[in-house]
Amino acid sequence: MNTARQALTLGAIALTTIMALSGCTSRNDAAPSGASASGDKITVAFVPKLQGIPYFEAMNAGGKAAADELGIEWLYQGPTTADAAAQADIVRSFIQQGVDALIVAPNDPDSMAPLLKEAADKGIKVAPADTDAPNSVREVFVNQASVEGIGEALTDSLLTAMGGKGDYAIVSCGETAANLNAWIDVQKKYTASKYPDANIVSVVYAGEDQAAATSMATDLMNANPNLTGLVGECTSSAPGVAQAVKDAGKIGTVFTTGLGTPMSMAPYLKDGSSIASILWNVQNLGYLTAWTGQQLAEGKTFAATNNVSSDLPSVEFDSASKTLLLGPALVITKDNVDTFSY
CATH architecture of 147-279: 3-Layer(aba) Sandwich (3.40)
> How far is residue 293's CA from residue 99's CA, in Å, rounded to a whole number?
10
Nearest to 49 by CA among 9, 13, 2, 81: 81
Beta bridge partners of 279: 330
> How far is residue 112's CA from residue 48's CA, in Å, rounded to a whole number?
12
Share of the chain above pLDDT 70, in %: 89
- Please give the pLDDT value at position 35: 64
pLDDT in tens, 270-320: 999 999 999 999 999 999 999 999 999 999 999 999 999 999 999 999 999
Q: What strand order describes the sheet that includes 43-47?
A: 73-76, 43-47, 101-104, 125-128
Segments in the chain below pLDDT 50? 1-32
Which homologous superfamily is 10-144+281-326 in? Response regulator (3.40.50.2300)
- Please give the pLDDT value at position 40: 84
Domain borders along the chain are 10-144+281-326, 147-279
- Please give the pLDDT value at position 20: 35
Residues 315, 287 contacting (CB under 8 angstroms): no
- Give the H/E segment covering residue 70: helix 54-70
- Please give the pLDDT value at position 39: 62
pLDDT in tens, 132-166: 999 999 999 999 999 999 999 999 999 999 999 99
- Please give the pLDDT value at position 37: 56
DSSP 162-195: TTT-EEEEEEES-TT-HHHHHHHHHHHHHHHHH-
